[in-house]
Amino acid sequence: MDSPSFSSDDVARLVEAAATVAGAAELTETLEAIVETAMDLTGASYGALGVLGGHGFLTEFIHKGVDPETAKRIGAPPSGHGLLGTITRVAEGVRTDDIADHPDSVSFPEHHPPMDSFLGVPIRVGDEVFGNLYLTNSEGGFRDGDMANVEALAIIGGSAIANARTSRRLRTVAVVEDRERIARDLHDAIIQDIFAVGLGLQALAGRLGESEAAVEIRDATSKLDDAITGLRRFIFDLRPPVWAHRRIRDELAELADSLAEPHDAEVELLFRGEVDSLPERVTDEILPIVRESLSNALRHSGATNITTSVVRHADRVVVRTIDNGDGFEVEAANNGMGLSNLRSRAVNQGGFAEISSSSGSGTTVEVTLPL
Ligand SMILES: Nc1ncnc2c1ncn2[C@@H]1O[C@H](COP(=O)(O)OP(=O)(O)OP(=O)(O)O)[C@@H](O)[C@H]1O
Ligand SMILES: [Mg+2]
């Protein structure tokens, strides 16, 4: 194989093109410099560079030499049939003295300036073809060394495109992670806090009977409810589309693992029915309900076995936690907030909670939420 011979002038221009790639803020700017350098090096009157998207269509098309008026009259950029398609498909350079003579060539669209000599190379990184770089109408045809020069430029172009894609991906990931974090913080910390304050106020209003203060407090709690609704909507909007499909199984498994970790009890999670497609508002309730009933069983019951199940029926979902612990007197247990929060969550969703417990045989907490 003969090694391509670069003149010192060519090398200087290639280095310049590489420097432009390193310094350019915009991909388009870089690709324009590459096309110009290629025309310069080969003496071509026209040059173009097409970038392909994942689906094989052009996502960017840069051309030089055809004046804007004519380009407008020609219309759509080349579709990638014919010779250009051959370059990307075969992933090899093509050089010919007359395009029309090439077996793969197709006719030019109307208004297209006449073109004869042609040199085109694929732009690729590794095995993946990202596009093509091609030149036409070099006085006296393209020379032997031109292919190597243009290939070198195509390599520079390929790395510029790959870099731009990577940094776009990284930026997207950063945004998604940021949004997820903000949504979680809002949900886990702020909404729960507001909710707790609301419950406290409701209890206070209950004790104040029908006094003016009680009316004002109830008014305030309903404003808090509105605030929570607003926040939930905001959080929902923050979530990138992937969140639309939350894996409640994964989230509950993670929750159960972390709650059970410091205890000896065996915890089992069961799912039945289409639980992964539950509406967001229901999933949002199931998690804190399980958190409460499971942590109660772990902390208070002395159980060796606890089973939490989520069963989806056509019109409702039933979340049940059963332990084989000591049991307790449900009516008398009013020392904590947990169970009353759990009941209000159920009622707020139009559902209900049933707690049955007997000393010696353990406790069942069952929450039914309508769908
Ligand atoms: N599964 C259970 N087994 C035995 N006792 C329980 C169980 N669940 C609740 N209890 C009893 O009922 C009481 C009230 O429960 P609740 O969840 O309302 O409050 P808490 O767990 O004590 O406090 P908080 O939930 O506010 O952190 C508990 O203190 C405990 O005595
Ligand atoms: Mg509790």
**3 within a domain of the structure (yes/no):** no
Q: Which pLDDT score is estimated for 1?
A: 44
Tokens for 109? 């669209």
For ligand 1, residues with CB inside 6 Å are: 296-297, 300-301, 323, 325-326, 328, 333, 335-339, 363
Distance 100 CA to ligand 2 centre (A): 82
Probe ligand 1: pick from 259, 291, 296, 335, max atoms within 8 Å of CB? Answer: 296
> In angstroms, rounded to a whole number, what is the distance separating the alpha carbons of residues 246 and 65?
52
Q: Domain ends where: 228, 243, 258?
A: 243
Atom of ligand 1 nearest to the CA of 297: 1
Read off the CATH number of the domain in which 127 is found: 3.30.450.40
Distance 300 CA to ligand 1 centre (A): 6
Ligand of minimum distance to the alpha carbon of 355: 1
**42 within a domain of the structure (yes/no):** yes
pLDDT cut 90: percent of the chain above it: 40
> In angstroms, rounded to a whole number, what is the distance separating the alpha carbons of residues 236 and 251?
17
Q: Domain ends where: 243, 265, 282?
A: 243
CB 202, CB 221: distance < 8 Å: yes
Shared-domain flag, residues 128 and 140: yes
Shared-domain flag, residues 23 and 165: yes
CB 337, CB 199: distance < 8 Å: yes
Coil, helix or strand at residue 140 = coil
For the chain, first and last CA: distance in Å? 72
Shared-domain flag, residues 128 and 261: no
Shared-domain flag, residues 85 and 98: yes
CB 224, CB 197: distance < 8 Å: yes
**137 within a domain of the structure (yes/no):** yes
Q: Which pLDDT score is estimated for 15?
A: 80
Of 196, 279, 273, nearest to 245 (Cα)? 279
**1 within a domain of the structure (yes/no):** no
What single DSSP character describes residue 313? -
Asked whether the CA dihedral 318, 321, 327, 328 is positive or negative, the reply is negative
**312 within a domain of the structure (yes/no):** yes
**2 within a domain of the structure (yes/no):** no
Q: Domain ends where: 209, 243, 277?
A: 243
Probe ligand 1: pick from 339, 342, 344, 361, max atoms within 8 Å of CB? Answer: 339
Ligand of minimum distance to the alpha carbon of 343: 1
> In angstroms, rounded to a whole number, what is the distance separating the alpha carbons of residues 59 and 257?
46
List the chain residues with pLDDT less than 50. Answer: 1-2, 243-244
Shared-domain flag, residues 14 and 73: yes
Q: In what order do the strands lie in the sheet with 305-312?
A: 266-272, 305-312, 316-323, 362-370, 352-358
CB 363, CB 357: distance < 8 Å: yes
Shared-domain flag, residues 73 and 194: no
| 153, 155, 160, 161: CA torsion to nearest 10 | 110
Strand partners, 369: 317
Domain count, the chain: 3
Read off the CATH number of the domain in which 315 is found: 3.30.565.10
Shared-domain flag, residues 213 and 249: no
Residue identifier of the C-alpha nearest atom 23 of ligand 1:
336
Tokens for 327? 């049991």
Alpha-carbon 210 to chain mean position = 51
Contacts for 317 with CB less than 8 Å, ≥ 6 apart? 273, 275, 278, 282, 286, 310, 311, 368, 369, 371
Shared-domain flag, residues 39 and 127: yes
CB 121, CB 93: distance < 8 Å: yes
What's the predicted TM-score (pTM) here?
Answer: 0.48
Distance 214 CA to ligand 1 centre (A): 29
Shared-domain flag, residues 203 and 313: no
Ligand of minimum distance to the alpha carbon of 301: 1
> Over the stretch 208-255, which tens digit does the pLDDT of each residue have?
888 898 999 999 999 898 888 888 888 777 765 554 456 788 889 989
Strand partners, 357: 363
Range of the domain at 181: 177-243
Strand partners, 309: 270, 320
**347 within a domain of the structure (yes/no):** yes
Distance 335 CA to ligand 2 centre (A): 9
Shared-domain flag, residues 43 and 145: yes
